[in-house]
Amino acid sequence: MKILVVGGAGYIGSHMVKFLMQQACNITVLDNLSTGHADAVPAALLHKGDLADVDSLDALFTQHQFDAVMHFASFSLVGESITDPARYYRNNVSNTQNLLDTMINHGVYQFIFSSSAAIFGEPEYLPIDEEHPKNPLNPYGRSKWMVEQMLEDYDRAYGLKSISLRYFNAAGADSDGSLGERHNPETHLIPLLLQVAAGQRDNVTIFGHDYQTVDGTCIRDYIHVHDLCVAHWRALNFLQMHKQSEQFNLGNGSGFSVQQVVDACRTISGIEISTTYGNKRVGDPISLIADSKKAKRLLTWQPKYTSLHEIIAHAWCWHQQQLEHK
């Protein structure tokens, strides 16, 4: 299997690359390193390049006969997508179209797409299954939904088979502590809290505490990055076997409030992480919980790390290793 992993130097992409190497796949990583890290993937696999550069993309596909493409390269900051939507539509939509067009020109018809729970918007019911209405609340979510719709059209017209995997809240780190979540700037809850625990940040603001939830803070469904990688692998096998496009929601199926995540991070690190209450974040749904029955049924996928504590413990292990290497 020769696989192009676009965005393979990023958080989820780099875990995927490591996973695929363990499956003895032949991998090329395409990453512009705008948010990814060169040291997150073996140097020999990394091809630095941008999806906006269609000539280089074409040359890469001429050089390698890929069997499939996994696409992790997108911007994912909800707030930034509201203030600078052009950046999101250009990168997440137009550049993805460049990639799809190049695939078709070179006869590559298997595509795994990193989609998001952000396509659903404010839930009309919980847990959220694949059929739930799609009403994204922000340009980030809309960019993901646009690509999903593009994929439907490309299948119908050109026979491009794809699987869209809608991640809920990706979290955790490689269990051996070698890879983890490293964004700059960091905006995600768990790494922010663990940065405070590690002494790299003073405080985390909790965005809103008067939501209609158990303790007034937002509810999210945290899914371990390893379990996402397994789902990608199963999705690829499914595509090869059934040659049929599909969409799957990927989460653990249980929701935790921001306050519960704070408490879990305090327990695991043993450090009294400082938090303060702030305003609600624009574009934040109250509660997102996945119904992943379809993935369990069709992909025979079963999350291994269903405990929030275990997910955070792996992330904390990685944060501690980072401190040791400084």
- Residue 284 as a binder of ligand UDP (CB under 6 A): the answer is yes
- For ligand UDP, which residue of 192, 223, 265, 317 counts as binding (CB under 6 A)? 192
User: If DSSP codes are grouped into helix, strand and coil, which group holds residue 217?
Assistant: coil
225 secondary structure, DSSP code: H
Q: Which residue lies nearer to ligand UDP by CB, 30 or 223?
A: 223
User: Is residue 140 annotated as a catalytic residue, yes or no?
Assistant: yes
Phi, psi of 205 (to 5 degrees): -90, 130
Q: What is the DSSP string of 228-297?
A: HHHHHHHHHHHHHHH---EEEEES-S--EEHHHHHHHHHHHHTS---EEEEPPPTT--SB--B--HHHHH
- For ligand UDP, which residue of 27, 60, 78, 179 counts as binding (CB under 6 A)? 78
Sole window of 22-30, 45-53, 58-66, 202-210 interacting with ligand UDP (rule: CB under 6 A)? 202-210
CB 143 to ligand UDP: min, Å: 14
- Residue 221 as a binder of ligand UDP (CB under 6 A): the answer is no
Which one, of 68, 69, 66, 8, lies nearest residue 41 by Cα?
Answer: 8
- Residue 258 as a binder of ligand UDP (CB under 6 A): the answer is yes
Q: How far apart are CA 301 and CA 233, in angstroms?
A: 10
- For ligand UDP, which residue of 12, 30, 206, 311 counts as binding (CB under 6 A)? 206
- Residue 3 as a binder of ligand UDP (CB under 6 A): the answer is no
Which one, of 248, 259, 170, 245, lies nearest residue 206 by Cα?
Answer: 259
Q: Which residue lies nearer to ligand UDP by CB, 125 or 276?
A: 276
Q: Any residues with CB less than 8 A from the CB of 63 and at least 6 apart, and which? A: none
Sole window of 46-54, 91-99, 188-196, 228-236 interacting with ligand UDP (rule: CB under 6 A)? 188-196
Which one, of 267, 273, 270, 249, lies nearest residue 132 by Cα?
Answer: 249
Sole window of 51-59, 186-194, 223-231, 263-271 interacting with ligand UDP (rule: CB under 6 A)? 186-194
> Active-site residue among 109, 140, 154, 167?
140
Cis peptide before 185 (omega within 30 of 0): yes
Sole window of 41-49, 194-202, 204-212, 265-273 interacting with ligand UDP (rule: CB under 6 A)? 204-212
- For ligand UDP, which residue of 71, 161, 166, 220 counts as binding (CB under 6 A)? 220
Active site residues per annotation: 140
Return residues touching ligand UDP (CB under 6 A).
78, 169, 187-189, 192, 204-207, 218, 220, 258, 281, 284
